């Protein structure tokens, strides 16, 4: 492996001996000047890093800024509230890692919203859950995540769950939220699991109300969604409630329909690798009538994949190819790069140092050859990171992988984002 060449190139690329166009690191909690992510966002400039060290966070919105938000160490930090990224300009970048948003109970809302972004948005090791409440909302309005009008959104090793109305309403159960709803966007899912919410329970008042339908796992209204490695599961329908009555007999309630795994509608396109899993949920059961009425019917079965008449389902040949990189690396630590692909592929990587607004990003002219993917399907490279230099708090790297097979055909995949920090952080 040509790790030494990569180390030498990174040394030049990072500008170790200069603090020009410096990236600031804004610490949230545990010794930092900011208590919440929103406070840090208000103070942040394009190209800054927000380092989250403690929990107790709440809803936040990234509006028109290019920033990286990451937790300080591994794992996932959950908070109540919505995660929103909007209006990121062309050439901009928002990367968020290690956060899980749980939408508030009322009014109904998605767990995360990516909207109107001409620049790139990347979520890594994140999660989002739509509203869990009896009050209003279903489908996209209580989705795990809604992605609209985004030029490039990447979900890497994320888990998205549609909202579930956990308490009965006044009548029939409410449908569950979608796991992911995409409209007018280009989306990549890598190592990501998306599940529709369970159908809400019906009111058990002897009137034989029907259970709510399960939410669909993934719904693509328009645009393109590429599944490199993903699992999409429809939500389960809720069971109906029994019918009864002394003055008039009520029939048993019907079960809620099962949610579909993936629904491709409009003029949208699903592009997927063979290993992508798409599974319907389970339908809810019908309920009996205790007064001689008709029993309720089981909910309709779902399908793993539903493709509309104007939509496309494109099966991509070959294995999944992508790069997994360390999210946060401090001085004197190793940056771990794992290239997943076809054994025998030659792996190369282009490296870019993302710069604040007004400063052009510094990119390598040519990709660096790393090595050949072995029989395991994974090529691992550990790249030592030296001192960033006086006055440099952090750097943001974007790494663009390329895979060339034995026939000379070149495949690319979405870039990985790695934050380099001074050891003081």
Same domain, 81 and 141: yes
Cα 33-39-41 angle, rounded to 5 deg: 110
Same domain, 82 and 190: yes
CB burial of residue 409 (10 Å; 0-12, 13-18, 19+): exposed
Gap between the Cα atoms of 141 and 257, Å rounded: 19
Per-residue pLDDT of 375-394, as tens digits, reads 999 999 988 888 888 888 99
Q: How many CB atoms lie within 10 A of CB 391?
A: 10
What percent of the chain has a predicted confidence (pLDDT) above 70? 88
Asked if residue 66 is part of any domain, the answer here is: no
What pLDDT, on the 0 to 100 scale, is given for residue 359?
Answer: 58
Gap between the Cα atoms of 309 and 239, Å rounded: 31
SS3 (DSSP) at 8? helix
Residue 89 — very low, low, confident or very high, per pLDDT cuts 50/70/90? Answer: very high
Same domain, 261 and 329: no
| Domain end position, chosen among 315, 350, 382 | 315
- Token code pair at residue 288: 């009996």
Distance of CA 218 to the CA centre of its chain: 12
Residue 170 vs residues 137, 174, 213, 264, 290: alpha-carbon distances, Å: 15, 10, 16, 33, 20
Indicate if the pLDDT at residue 19 is higher than 60. Answer: no
Pairing of strands 346-354, 394-404: antiparallel
Gap between the Cα atoms of 299 and 284, Å rounded: 5
Residue 246 — very low, low, confident or very high, per pLDDT cuts 50/70/90? Answer: low
Asked if residue 56 is part of any domain, the answer here is: no
Per-residue pLDDT of 325-351, as tens digits, reads 999 999 889 999 999 999 999 999 988
Same domain, 114 and 221: yes
| Domain end position, chosen among 258, 292, 315 | 315
Same domain, 147 and 269: yes
Asked if residue 9 is part of any domain, the answer here is: no
Closest CA to 117 of 95, 85, 146, 144: 85
Strand-pairing partners, residue 78, are 100
Strand-pairing partners, residue 52, are 28, 71
Gap between the Cα atoms of 251 and 208, Å rounded: 6
Domain that residue 289 falls in: 75-315
Same domain, 80 and 133: yes
Same domain, 100 and 154: yes
Cα 87-400-94 angle, rounded to 5 deg: 20
Q: Which residues contact 122 (CB under 8 A, 6 or more apart)?
A: 93, 94, 95, 96, 153, 154, 156, 414, 415, 417
Same domain, 337 and 299: no
Instruction: Residue count of the chain, please give it.
Output: 425
Same domain, 294 and 416: no
- Cα of first residue to Cα of last residue in the chain, in angstroms, is 30
Strand-pairing partners, residue 320, are none
Strand-pairing partners, residue 340, are 322, 378
Gap between the Cα atoms of 292 and 208, Å rounded: 12
Asked if residue 194 is part of any domain, the answer here is: yes
- Token code pair at residue 3: 């790790």
Residue 11 vs residues 3, 333, 390: alpha-carbon distances, Å: 12, 14, 14
Element spanning 281, H or E: none
Same domain, 310 and 358: no
What pLDDT, on the 0 to 100 scale, is given for residue 104?
Answer: 72
- Token code pair at residue 304: 């793993």
SS3 (DSSP) at 7? helix
- Token code pair at residue 56: 């107790």
Asked if residue 39 is part of any domain, the answer here is: no
DSSP-H helix ranges across 236-299: none
Per-residue pLDDT of 166-206, as tens digits, reads 667 678 888 899 999 999 999 999 999 999 999 888 888 76
Asked if residue 41 is part of any domain, the answer here is: no
Counted domains in the chain: 2
Same domain, 163 and 297: yes
Using CA atoms in the order 269, 270, 271, 275, what is the torsion angle rounded to 10 degrees?
-170
Same domain, 368 and 310: no
Peptide bond into 107 cis (omega under 30): yes
Asked if residue 236 is part of any domain, the answer here is: yes
Residue 255 — very low, low, confident or very high, per pLDDT cuts 50/70/90? Answer: very high
- Domain with 366 in it: what CATH number? 2.60.40
| Domain end position, chosen among 260, 293, 315 | 315
Whole-model pTM: value is 0.92
What percent of the chain has a predicted confidence (pLDDT) above 90? 58
Asked if residue 60 is part of any domain, the answer here is: no
């Amino acid at each position: 492996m040509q790790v030494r060449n990569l180390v030498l190139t990174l040394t030049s690329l990072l500008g170790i001996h200069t603090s020009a166009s410096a990236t600031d690191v804004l610490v949230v909690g545990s010794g930092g000047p900011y208590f919440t992510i929103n406070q840090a966002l208000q103070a942040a400039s394009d190209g800054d890093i927000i380092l989250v060290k403690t929990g107790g966070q709440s809803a936040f919105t990234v509006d028109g800024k290019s920033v990286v938000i990451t937790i300080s160490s591994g794992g996932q930090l959950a908070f109540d509230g919505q995660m929103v990224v909007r209006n990121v300009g062309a050439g901009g970048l928002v990367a968020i890692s290690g956060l899980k948003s749980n939408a508030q109970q009322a009014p109904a809302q998605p767990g995360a919203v990516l909207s109107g972004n001409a620049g790139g948005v990347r979520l890594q090791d994140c999660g989002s859950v739509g509203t869990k409440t009896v009050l209003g909302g279903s489908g996209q309005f209580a989705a795990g995540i809604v992605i609209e009008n985004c030029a490039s959104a990447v979900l890497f090793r994320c888990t998205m769950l549609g909202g579930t109305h956990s308490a009965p309403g006044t009548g029939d159960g409410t449908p569950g939220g979608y796991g992911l709803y995409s409209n007018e966007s280009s989306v990549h899912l890598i190592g990501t699991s998306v599940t529709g919410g369970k159908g809400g329970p019906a009111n058990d008042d002897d009137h034989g109300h029907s259970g709510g339908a399960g939410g669909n796992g993934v719904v693509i209204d328009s645009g393109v969604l590429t599944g490199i490695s993903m699992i999409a599961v429809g939500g389960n329908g809720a069971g109906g409630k029994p019918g009864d009555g002394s003055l008039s007999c009520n029939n048993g309630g019907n079960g809620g329909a099962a949610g579909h795994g993936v629904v491709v509608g409009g003029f949208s396109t699903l592009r997927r690798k063979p290993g992508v899993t798409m599974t319907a949920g389970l339908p809810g059961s019908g309920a009996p009538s205790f007064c001689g009425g008709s029993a309720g019917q089981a909910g309709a079965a779902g399908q793993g994949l539903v493709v509309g008449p104007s939509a496309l389902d494109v099966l991509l040949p070959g294995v999944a190819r992508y790069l997994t990189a360390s999210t946060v690396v401090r001085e004197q630590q190793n940056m771990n790069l794992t290239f997943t692909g076809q054994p025998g592929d030659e792996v190369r990587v282009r490296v870019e140092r993302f710069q604040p607004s007004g400063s052009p990003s510094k990119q390598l002219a040519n990709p660096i050859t790393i090595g050949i993917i072995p029989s395991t399907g994974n090529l691992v490279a550990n790249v030592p990171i030296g001192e960033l230099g006086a006055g440099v708090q952090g750097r943001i790297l974007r790494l663009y992988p390329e895979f060339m097979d034995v026939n000379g055909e070149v495949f690319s995949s979405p870039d990985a984002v790695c934050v380099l920090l001074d050891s003081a952080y």
